[in-house]
Amino acid sequence: MTQPSLKRYALISILAALATIGLKGGAYVLTGSVALLSDAAESLVNLLAAIIALLALSVAERPADEEHAYGHNKAEYFASGFEGALILVAALSIGVTAVRRLLDPQPLDAVGLGLTISVVASLVNLGVARVLAQAGRRYDSITLEADAAHLMTDVYTSAGVVLGLGAAALTGWTWLDPLVALVVALNIVRSGVELLHRSALGLLDTAVPEEVRARIVDVLRRHAAHGLQFHALRTRQAGARRFVSFHILVPGEWSVQRGHDLLEQIEEEVRAAVPNCTVFTHLEPIEDPASFADQRLERPHPTTPPPPLPRKG
C-alpha cells in the first residue's frame, strides 16, 4: 500500500507556529517578561523546524532513482537532526537573556492578560502536537515525531512560564521570571540532545526495533519448522522504510524454481508482517559447509584460492 503524503502535517505545524509566535510575542510586549520572550523564541524555532520538516518530507517522498537506489527516506534524519541543533541554539539564547535579567530584574506589566494569551497559544500547540504524534507513529515518520516532541516541549515550557509568572505576580519576586526562563532552557536542551541522538542512530543504519525484528523471526521460524534453516538476518531502518536481508538454506537437490518460489513466499510474508519493508534474500544449499561460513557482514577469505575460470574458445 502506498504511503500518503505527509507534507500536510508539516503545513499544519507551520500554521500553528505562526499563530503561537504572534500570540506569545504579543504577550511579551504586554508584560515585558523574559520568560514569555523565551517561550516566543521557542515558537520561532518551531516555525523554522516545521519549514525544514516540510522540505525533508518533500525529499523523502521522492521515488528511488539511479543515484539513490534505496530511496530518499534518510532525509528525515537530517531534518530531525537540524531541528535538534536549532533547539540547542534557542536554549542558549534563552539562557543568556535569562541570566542578564536575573542580574538586573525588571518589573512586569499586565501579567494576567499575558498569561491568558500564553495559555491559548499552548492549547494550539497541544492540539497540533497530538495530531503530529499520531501521524508519526502511524506512518513511522521520525520527522513528524520530532516535530510533535518539540511542540510538547513548548507546551511544558509554557506551563512552567505560567506557573512562574503567576508566582512572581503574587509574591512580587521579579527574579522568579528569569529563573523560570533558565529552567525552560535546561528542558529545551534535553529535548534537543534526544533528537540529535535519534537522528545520529538513523544515519548510522540502526537496526529495526526488537518488536519488529521478532515479527520477522516468527515468519522464518514457521518455515524452519518444516526442515529449512535461516541465518544472517540483518535489518536497518531509513525513515519509514525498513530493509531486511537473510539467507535461507534448503536441500541442494531442489530445483532453482522450487527455491525461488519458496523465497517469494517468505518475502511476501515478511512484507505483510512488517509494512514499508524491502526484503533481500539469498538461497544456499543446506549440505554445503560454506553456507554456514557465510553469516558475517564480511565473508572471511577462503584458505585456498578458487579454481580458475574456464577460458573461452
Over the stretch 114-173, which tens digit does the pLDDT of each residue have?
778 888 888 998 999 999 888 887 877 777 877 787 788 778 777 777 777 777 777 777
Nine-digit cell string for 82: 537540524
Give Cα separations from 249 to 11, 226, 240 (angstroms): 49, 12, 30
pLDDT, residue 127, reads: 92
How many C-beta neighbours within 10 Å does residue 210 have? 8
Q: Is the pLDDT of residue 289 over 70?
A: yes
pLDDT, residue 308, reads: 57
Q: Is the pLDDT of residue 297 over 60?
A: no
Please give the average per-residue pLDDT across 280-284, as a whole number.
89
pLDDT, residue 217, reads: 92
Q: Is the pLDDT of residue 304 over 70?
A: no
Q: How far apart are CA 248 and CA 215, in angstroms?
A: 17
Which of helix, strand or coil describes residue 182? helix
Is-above-0.75 flag for pTM?
Answer: no
Give 166: exposed, middle or buried? Use CB within 10 Å, 0-12, 13-18, 19+. Answer: middle
The amino acid that residue 236 corresponds to is R
Please give the average per-residue pLDDT across 69-98, as a whole number.
71
Query: Using CA atoms in the order 115, 27, 16, 130, what is the torsion angle rounded to 10 degrees?
Result: -20
Confidence of residue 310 (pLDDT cuts 50, 70, 90): low
Q: How far apart are CA 236 and CA 84, in angstroms?
A: 22
Q: Percent of the chain having pLDDT more than 70?
A: 80
Q: How far apart are CA 263 and CA 271, in angstroms?
A: 12
Helix axes 34-60, 142-171, angle to 10 degrees: 170
End-to-end CA separation in angstroms for the chain: 51
Residue where the block lists cell 515518520: 141
> Comparing C-alpha atoms, which of 140, 155, 142, 141 is closest to residue 46?
155
Q: How far apart are CA 143 and CA 149, in angstroms?
A: 10
Q: How far apart are CA 21 and CA 41, in angstroms?
A: 8
